Structure 1
Amino acid sequence: MKYKNLFFDLDDTLWAFSLNARDTFEEVYYKHKLDSYFDSFSHFYTLYQKRNIELWQDYGSGKIDKTELNSKRFLYPLSAVGVSDENLAKQYSEDFFALIPTKSKLMPYAKELLEYLAPRYNLYILSNGFRELQYHKMRSSGIDGYFKKIILSEDIGVLKPWPQIFNFALSTTQSEVGNSLMIGDSWDADITGAHGVGMHQIYYNFAEREEFPFSATYVVKELKDILNLL
């Protein structure tokens, strides 16, 4: 086999973050009666998502820390409709963080893929997600047992795509870049990062992106397509 070590992103590569997050937000939206302030749940969630993407970019580039990221992204939808209630934002954010790691939806064919790969390769998680959530999410969805090690950006204070986290992942798992492969749904974090250190990549293009600054080693639209590659 060409590869020995497979590094997986977690959110929206294996664990269905977008679906689980939306479900969780909808629950806390009604629990905290946020419908008093917004036209609809969609109105609230659209406001949240747009600002959330911007703040994660700031977090990734070191402009804000984790505490600031979380306080700003949960307060923003309320502020956008003229509600300056930091206590409400804190309450619904706490409920969100308590609830989301209990969600168990996986991306299509994730479990089948892991069943096939686990006996054949060393499997690792390489994620930018928060430590207090990622382990719980993997246990809730029943995929924690497939992986030999979980490497998180918080372990070294550097996020994908910076080369330090990829080099750390290779070192801590005693893997060689030449027989290792990164699998992820984020072009900017997973594919660009792996490419930068010379690691081969599989881009899980479920969002059907069409333009790329360079060619990934492999591109798949469904996880089951990886079965034909490995």
Structure 2
Amino acid sequence: MKKALILDLDNTLFSTTSIGDKLFADLYYLLEINGNEFEGNLEDIKTDINRKPFSVVAKQYSMSQLLYNESLQLLVNLTYNEPIEPFPDYNEVNKIACDKFLVTSGFPKLQNSKVRQLGIENDFKEIYIVDTVMTNDTKKKIFESILHDFNYDVSEVLVIGDDPESEIAAAKELGIDAIVYDKLNAFKDYFATPKISDFSQLQNYL
């Protein structure tokens, strides 16, 4: 029986695309007027900004240092102050009687504002925000800290997230069971770990 769940935030508890156009409007405009400062397609970049940490996206599309710095100036103090709707099946998570931790990567002010607007602050034992720009922290380090600080064996923890290359990879490196939450059917050909599309399916892995 699992004693703890570790959940990701973006595209795991809610759809980031539901707020992306409004949230990143200024950033999208900055990228649009500086189209010679990165490689690749702007629409692809917009999609990835809603799925991955900005530092990863900037590297992926060979963004110039100048554009990267200007983008950071926009993002570091960005917040979202309108209501956000979680995925409808999120209520299933609260029905599970075990410790729950939220571990997300991104800009702290922005990620904190998302949590606040979702109204989920009290659903978790602890909330961790991994600032991949200003620190060298990683989700793997946070997972290790949770195991140590709360005295869990790896067999007692389950990680749920939408990104096989982030929280799922970190969990697998530590020997923690992991599940890809593929609400948006983005990983049709991914079979390295179990996948679910609804939190009601978690009961099969506890």
CA deviations on 1:204-226 (whole Å, 9 max, x unpaired) are: 122341333x631x310223322
1:114 to 85, 88, 93: 93
Where does 1:108-187 land on structure 2 (aligned, <5 Å)? 108-110=88-90, 112-117=91-96, 120-154=97-131, 157-160=136-139, 163-187=140-164
Shift of residue 134 of structure 1?
Answer: 2.2
User: Which residue pairs with 1:220 in the alignment?
Assistant: 196
With normalisation by structure 1, the TM-score equals 0.66
Shift of residue 175 of structure 1?
Answer: 2.5
Runs of 4+ deviating beyond 6 Å = 58-61
Distance in structure 1 (CA, Å) of the matches to 2:197 and 2:181:
6
**Residue 16 of structure 2 is aligned to residue 20 of structure 1:** no
Shift of residue 178 of structure 1?
Answer: 1.4
**Compared CA separation, residues 45 and 186, structure 1 to 2 (3 A):** same
SS in 1 for 2:56: helix
With normalisation by structure 2, the TM-score equals 0.73
Distance in structure 2 (CA, Å) of the matches to 1:125 and 1:10:
7
Are the counterparts in 1 of residues 45 and 57 from structure 2 also a CA contact under 8 Å? no
**Which structure would you say has the larger Rg?**
1
Are the counterparts in 2 of residues 177 and 198 from structure 1 also a CA contact under 8 Å? yes
Shift of residue 21 of structure 1?
Answer: 1.7
The gaps in structure 2 that reach 5 residues or longer are 34-40
Paired letter, 1:109: D
SS in 1 for 2:131: helix
Shift of residue 60 of structure 1?
Answer: 8.7
Number of aligned residue pairs: give it: 192
User: Which residue pairs with 1:41 in the alignment?
Assistant: none
**Compared CA separation, residues 189 and 3, structure 1 to 2 (3 A):** same
Are the counterparts in 2 of residues 101 and 136 from structure 1 also a CA contact under 8 Å? yes
CA deviations on 1:34-85 (whole Å, 9 max, x unpaired) are: 9x97xxxxxx962642684695327799x99xxx69x52865xxxxxxxxxx
SS in 1 for 2:165: helix
Shift of residue 142 of structure 1?
Answer: 1.1
**Compared CA separation, residues 146 and 51, structure 1 to 2 (3 A):** closer
The gaps in structure 1 that reach 5 residues or longer are 38-43, 76-88
Q: Which has the higher helix share?
A: 1
**Compared CA separation, residues 204 and 60, structure 1 to 2 (3 A):** farther
Q: Equivalent pairs: percent with the same residue?
A: 21
**Compared CA separation, residues 94 and 229, structure 1 to 2 (3 A):** closer
Where does 1:54-93 land on structure 2 (aligned, <5 Å)? 56-57=55-56, 72=68, 93=74
Distance in structure 2 (CA, Å) of the matches to 1:131 and 1:95:
8
Distance in structure 2 (CA, Å) of the matches to 1:194 and 1:125:
14
Distance in structure 2 (CA, Å) of the matches to 1:124 and 1:223:
15
**Compared CA separation, residues 175 and 130, structure 1 to 2 (3 A):** farther
